[in-house]
Amino acid sequence: MKLSKLLSLVTVASVATVGLGAADIKLSEDEMKKATQVYFDRCAGCHGMLRKGALGPSLEPEKSIAMGTEALKVIINDGTPGGMPGWGKSGELTPEETALMAKYIQIEAPQPPEKSMADMKASHKLLIPVKDRPTAPEAGAENWKDYFAVILRDVGQIAIVDGKTKKVVSVVPSGYATHITRTGASGRYMYVIGRDGKASMIDLWMKEPKNVAEFRPCNDARSIDTSKHKDYMDKYAVIGCYWPPSIVTVDADTLEPMKIVSTASYTYDENVYTREARVAAIIASHEKPEWVINVKETGQVWLYDYSNVMNPKITMVEAERFLHDGGWDLSKRYFMSAANARDVISVIDTQEGKLVKNIPSQGTKPHPGRGANVDHKKLGPVWITGHIGSNDIVAIGTDPVNHPKNAWKVVKKFQLPGEGGGNLFVKTHPNSKYIFADRPVNPDRKLQTQIYVIDKEKLEVVKTIPIPEKYLKSADPKVKARGPVHFEFNADGSEVWTSIWGNKLTASPILVFDSNTLELKSVIDDKRLITPTGKFNVTNTMTDTY
């Protein structure tokens, strides 16, 4: 629905021109539209809008034509051991859709539209001007610093849940399949970015938090953050676009656009021009007026100095392809960033503005989220990540001054029990003895539906907590809810929250555990909680605690 505008903008290749080298493949205009939407929803994230590949391999016609329609159908239906989901098998694509996509990827990718400032401005909505917003937290909003923003992924909404009362305070519309939410340094606003490129900001000082502004600078996006340096505190926000590949700076009070910078450039290693140089994770430095920006396809981390906002100063640091997610080490000096398709963690020293090292992650497709930091008694400070493609959890030393022998290498590696990867997130808090890991994309139902509890000192899995079947129910018995996904702590770290990755048919609960006794303390069961995935506590987000 929200994609209709995008699709109307996409230059749909006409029947006459699609047959480049595959003259027998013809799609009608309706089929092209349908396939373009499916591609955007399911394929573009890993293979790229222009199909040049990233986490997934290239799908350019030269290659796909050689594979042929039948082989492609099998792959799309069944998936691959390398991490490609079986879209047919899982029921997410019908056999007709699978067949359509097998044809679609043999023809030239339609050129996605560009967006100018004029296009962007047309999408900007200042819903509540600054002067009409509260000047202090309203009555009833006293707990706002312990609120959680919960992504309701498949319905395009954000639930604001009170971390103390465990009540849903409000449900606010957002972009499609929100990827992340971030607070500013003050925590007052929750910034939300949809995969469809729509940004929104929620005012947490309202008794019933609402969106105060909306803006859609991109057709596809993954990241948002604010200026966190003390001299520019929450003055600007930044949106990282997948398409058009760009960095969009906006006014942090209104989301009003100010500046666009293209990320299209040359790959760091082979120096090949890459139009689709997508902006993956962005993280705001607390020490410098800089955003640390992963440019996925070119393998560069851009240190974007916003102090002169219309004349940015960008240090283009060579790291590794294809950069995706990452987070701070314990000192918040080093940005630990996963180049997932290369099985590498790139360490960026944001103080010196340079790459420290590309570290082999000793697993397949690292996916840290922000990762987990532990000040380990023997090893010193370590940063921890899991992997999508293998069951390895690794700890990397991050203190070159007091623990030089451990710095910038894997100092401990251990496994989640059972075969295969499927881990998406690890998370901890200084007030918990444990790190928590999920495994929602492991194909094994049992492994998928457990919480993996890692002891911070032993650095091994000390317990698995199976999720009782009653929380995994779905209105349709054929479509099962996936296991828990993503963890977040409350402000004081005494509780850890996870959510069931259900489907649109019914609500799914958030489960709240004591972060030290591991006891299930509460179940937040609210009919509005449809497909709750990412959860972001205000205090932990504003302080980058993980």
Catalytic positions: 43, 46-47, 84, 324, 367
Residue placing its CB nearer to its own copies in the complex, 304 or 452: 304
Tell me which residue has tokens 């996904």.
Answer: 485
- The answer to whether residues 510 and 492 touch, using CB atoms and an 8 Å cutoff, is no
Residue placing its CB nearer to its own copies in the complex, 43 or 49: 49
Question: From the CB of 224, what's the least distance to its own copies, in Å?
Answer: 19
Question: From the CB of 117, what's the least distance to its own copies, in Å?
Answer: 3
The tokens describing 135, both together, are 């000047």
Q: 10 Å Cβ neighbour count for 134?
A: 14
Structural element, H or E, at residue 448: helix 445-448
Q: 10 Å Cβ neighbour count for 64?
A: 21
Question: From the CB of 227, what's the least distance to its own copies, in Å?
Answer: 17
Residue placing its CB nearer to its own copies in the complex, 246 or 450: 246
What span, in angstroms and rounded, lies between the C-alpha atoms of 253 and 215? 12
Question: In the structure, how many helices (H) and strands (E) does the chain have?
Answer: 9, 35
Phi/psi for 2 (5° steps) reads: -70, -15
What span, in angstroms and rounded, lies between the C-alpha atoms of 333 and 327? 10
Question: From the CB of 510, what's the least distance to its own copies, in Å?
Answer: 41
Residue placing its CB nearer to its own copies in the complex, 37 or 315: 315
Question: From the CB of 327, what's the least distance to its own copies, in Å?
Answer: 22
Structural element, H or E, at residue 495: strand 495-501
Q: 10 Å Cβ neighbour count for 90?
A: 13
Q: What are the residues whose beta carbons fall under 8 Å from the beta carbon of 236, sequence distance 6 or more? A: 226, 227, 249, 250, 251, 252, 258, 306, 309
Question: From the CB of 322, what's the least distance to its own copies, in Å?
Answer: 18
Residue placing its CB nearer to its own copies in the complex, 26 or 463: 26
CA angle 468–473–476, rounded 5-degree value: 160
Question: From the CB of 403, what's the least distance to its own copies, in Å?
Answer: 26
Residue placing its CB nearer to its own copies in the complex, 117 or 475: 117
Burial class, 245, CB count within 10 angstroms (exposed 0-12 / middle 13-18 / buried 19+): buried
Question: From the CB of 358, what's the least distance to its own copies, in Å?
Answer: 14
Closest CA to 276 of 116, 36, 46, 2: 46
Residue placing its CB nearer to its own copies in the complex, 130 or 273: 273
CA distances from 417 to 43, 223, 302, 449, 501 (A): 30, 32, 37, 13, 21
Which residues here bind its own copies, judged by CB under 8 A?
A: 17, 114-118, 120, 244, 246, 257, 259-262, 264-266, 270-273, 308, 310-318, 353-355
Three-state SS sequence of 210-251? EEEEEECCCCEEEEEEECCCHHHCCCEEEEEEEECCEEEEEE
What span, in angstroms and rounded, lies between the C-alpha atoms of 360 and 394? 10
Residue placing its CB nearer to its own copies in the complex, 236 or 487: 236
**Facing residues of 346 across strands?**
337, 358
What span, in angstroms and rounded, lies between the C-alpha atoms of 189 and 209? 9
